[in-house]
Structure formats: C-alpha cells, structure tokens
Chain A
Amino acid sequence: MGGASRIFWRMSGLAALVGAWALGHAVYGPFVLPRPIEAAQSLLGLFVSGAAQSALAASAVQALSGWLVGCAIGFALAVAAGIWLPVALAASPVAVVLMGVPPIAWIVLALLWFGPDGPGAAFTVAVSILPLVFVAVLQGMNTRAAALDEMALLFRAPPLQRFTDVLFPQLLAQLLPAAASALGYAWKVCVMSEVMGSGTGIGGRLAAARANLDLAQTMAWILLIVALVLLCDLLLVAPFRRWFAAMNESPLSPAVG
C-alpha cells in the first residue's frame, strides 16, 4: 500500500470517530456531548488564554518526573535482580503486590501523605509504573545472551563497558516497549490523580470544567490529554523504537557461508 493510501485510511478512522461524536451530539444533545467544533474552539481558547500551557506544564512536571523515577528505580532493581538471585527473590513478590494495588489506592494515599499541591501525582505515577518496568527488564535480564557476557568478561572489559556496550543494548528490547506503555499510563494516572486532588494541572482543570458543567471545555481538556499521549509516543518513543528495530539482529548469528 502506498504512502498516500496509508494516510487516507489513517485519517478515515479518525474522521469516523469524529463523525460518531457528531452523531452522538445530534442524538443526545449538547448536555451529553458538545459539537466537535465547539470542543475544538474551546481548546483553541485555552491555548490563547495561556491556561492550556500552564496546566500542561504543571501536569508534565508531575507525569514525567514520576515516569523517570519509576523507570529508573524499576530498571535498576531489575538489573540487580538479574545479577543477584537474593534480590530477585526479594523484589519479585513486592512487584506483584505493587501491581495488584489499583492506582486509585495510591492516589488516595498520596493525597493523604503529600496533600493536594505536593508531588502526590508524581509519586502515584512512579509507584504505578515501577513494577511494569521491573518485570519487563527482569525478563530481559533472564533472556540476555550469556555468550556475549562471557565474551566481554574474557576480554576483561571493565564493569562500565560491560554495562554500556553489552548489557544495556540487550535490555532495550524489553525496556523500550515497557517505557512506552508506562509513558502513556503515566499521563493517565497523573490526570486521574489531579482530578482527585484538584491541582493546577490538566486533571485539576478538567475537574473544574466538569464542576461548571462546561462540556465543551471538558472535551477540550480530554482532547489535549489524548494529543499529549500521542505526541509523546511520536516524538520520544517511536524514534527509539525505529532505531532499535534497525539494529535488532541476533547477537549470536552463526558464522555460516
């Protein structure tokens, strides 16, 4: 299929979604669904007034810092667990417990611990995505090519070189998809946390719009969140995924022919 056809079919899906939205408005009226154009105008107004930018910045700080901390701790724990069995035995059940706790429970706890204006959303994001990254990277540790580790060890490569040149590139196969999923999840958890806490981020503004029964603005904030998740995937995750796919070849291809 050619590039133009692909774009056409992608756009047709989105157009169908907007069509369904417009149909919902026509059937159920403006108190259930505003017209798509009203939501778009409201979104534009939010940008013109600067409200979107400030909310976006507040949410981004919480979501991205929580995502970074969660990824870093999950990755470090998984690497340690992949090297030392006692760490794996100790950390694995904790990861299962953390995964079993619903985000809403963390949100309530974070509100109690940090208050509505503190780093509660970032904490909730970090603690929610940590086990996802841990499990994915631990799987990478367990399935890594031991032959490459042995090669590096026999050539007496120092620990830093063994990590940067041998181990880390192998773990990217598991880390990248997990981090990508976690990023989308981070925005959702962050907004949810802000809705509960009524902060200055997107979630807080969304809660305010809902309280004012301003459906156009509510939809505008939702559109902004969706755009944000897509943009993150497009700008941050997709380039890494493409780069990794280009170099993702079997490390132990036999020397035949």
Chain B
Amino acid sequence: MLTLSALGMEFGGEATIAALDLSIRAGEFVVAIGPSGCGKTTLLRLAAGALAPTSGRIENGFKRVAMVFQEPRLLPWFDALDNAAFALKALGCPAPERRRAAHAILRRLGLSDEDCAKRPATLSGGMRQRVAIARALAIEPDLMLMDEPFVALDVGLRRDLQNLVRAEADRTGSAVLFVTHDIAEAVRLASRIIVLSPHPATLVADVANEPVANPALALAAAAALLRRPGIEQALFASGAKTSGPTFPDDPPGEAVKPASPQTPKTFPPQVAFEGFKP
C-alpha cells in the first residue's frame, strides 16, 4: 500500500503540492487528473522516491515500483530487447533469463522478433512506448507509476495502449497511479479517479469509477464527472471552459458510472490485444 499523508512540496519557496492525503491499495488503478502544471508529475516523482517531500510523510509498502514516462526514455544504443530488459538487469537478473523474459513481454505487447532487434530510432512512436511499458512490466511491479505516457500519440494508438495497460494491470493485479490531464482517458482506465487543483495541488475529489471502454460512453462519463461540484473549477481554473465537453442535459453532481449496463467493467485481454496481433 502507498500512503501519502499531509504531503507538501515546495520549489523555491512556492508550494507545488499542499496537504495531500492519498492511499493506493494493491490492485487499484488510480488516475490523477488535473490541469497542466498542477504538480501531477511532482506527485509521481514523490511517490517514486525521486524527490523528498518538504512536509508530510510517504509510506510505500510496495516492493517493486516501475515507472513509465511521458517520453519513452529508451537508451538509443540498445535494441528494443535490451531496453525492455534494463530494469531486470538492475534487479540482478542473469542475462539469458532477462533477455528471455523481455522477449516474451515484448511479443505479448505486439512487437515482432524483428522489432525486438531494432534500436529505438527505427521504431515508431507507438512501438517505442510499448518498449517503455515492457521495461516497466518486465519486473512484475507491485506499483506502476505512469506519467501521461500516451499524451503524444494519435487517438487510435492511444486507445490501443490504454487497453493494453489496463489489461496488463488486470492480469497482474498490480496497483497503478496514472496521471493525465485527459478526463476521457481517466474514465476509460480508472477504478478510482482523484482530481487535483492547480497551484498548489490539493485533493479536490476522490471518486470511484468503473472503466468505460466505449469512446462515446467515456465522453459522457467524463462530462458526468465534470458536473460534480468543484471539479470543473479545479480543471479549468483559468475560466477557459471551452476545452471541456459540455452536455447540457446532464444533471449537476451526477455520480460517475457507466452509461450502459453492457459497458464492460474490465478489459479482457483477448479484446485488449485484438489490435496488436501481427
């Protein structure tokens, strides 16, 4: 379990995060949303142990923590296989074993044998991000920290990778803390959504969510989330409401729930991987 208690973080005397309380249990898929620059990445870096908080406490009971960054952060001098095996090497896994494990996971994520031998520059953007995800998944993490990993990808590819990550989380039962500023992405993935306010980041809302696979229904669920008190103000603090979807018929404060009983609650692997078969 990851527990953040009264967490505060300042940079140069300016508070980025203030009095934040949050706990994440095993198997939870928590998505943190907030406007750009509100401190979401700082929150992840604190959770990862890369930063020490200015105030408050962090208790991390998860033994294996992996991170997926906004950009793939692959080593350009390594091929996809060695990049995927990097975190296993850090754990001291012998070379043949880690290469075998990395190969298996890359294949599961849709890379061919030929792709495994390619360097990052010769892979597409989506492939590179899959290698980055493979690097994180290879160590079978208890906790995955994901920092807007699909923000630079096109819509179709983003959906493929969202499905893939959700399916992997369901399969392994690992906890996930995923930050994004995309509300639709949050309702597609999360079992729990937390909303952060800007400058400094404080917890505005913490709501249970059932993942919504259908893109249209995800937008409707996102709109419902926006109708909850305080959320729209937190996400569009500058007053620029035009970037958020508006659904005049939605009543204010409606609970976030799938719009249809047929909406799948989870992403079965066979569905999630449909698009990745070579």
In angstroms, how far is the closest chain A Cβ from the Cβ of B119? 7
8 of the cross-chain contacts (CB-CB < 8 Å) are A151-B73, A155-B87, A165-B89, A252-B71, A253-B72, A253-B121, A254-B125, A255-B71
| A156, B90: Cβ atoms closer than 8 Å | yes
Residue on A with the closest CB to B50?
A154
Residues on A lying within 8 angstroms of B by beta carbon are 147-148, 150-158, 161, 165-166, 169, 247-257
Choose among B49, B73, B86 the residue that contacts A157 (Cβ–Cβ < 8 A).
B86
In angstroms, how far is the closest chain B Cβ from the Cβ of A156? 6
What 5 A-B pairs have minimum CB-CB distances, sorted nearest first? A249-B121, A157-B90, A255-B125, A255-B129, A256-B125
Residue on B with the closest CB to A158?
B90
- If A158-B90, A169-B75 touch, whether A257 touches B121 (CB-CB below 8 Å) is no
Is B77 among interface residues, defined by CB-CB distance under 8 A? yes
| Chain B residues within 8 Å of A255, by CB | 71-72, 125-126, 128-129, 132, 152-153
Residue on B with the closest CB to A165?
B75
Is B66 among interface residues, defined by CB-CB distance under 8 A? yes
Residues on B lying within 8 angstroms of A by beta carbon are 48-50, 65-67, 69, 71-78, 86-87, 89-91, 119-121, 124-126, 128-129, 132, 135, 139, 152-154, 157
| B86, A155: Cβ atoms closer than 8 Å | yes
| Chain B residues within 8 Å of A161, by CB | 89-90
A116 to B162, CA, bound (A): 72
A45 to B278, CA, bound (A): 67
| B76, A250: Cβ atoms closer than 8 Å | yes
Choose among A153, A166, A248, A257 the residue that contacts B50 (Cβ–Cβ < 8 A).
A153
A248 to B48, CA, bound (A): 30
Choose among B66, B119, B152 the residue that contacts A155 (Cβ–Cβ < 8 A).
B66
| Chain A residues within 8 Å of B153, by CB | 255-257
| Chain B residues within 8 Å of A150, by CB | 50, 73
A148 to B73, CA, bound (A): 6
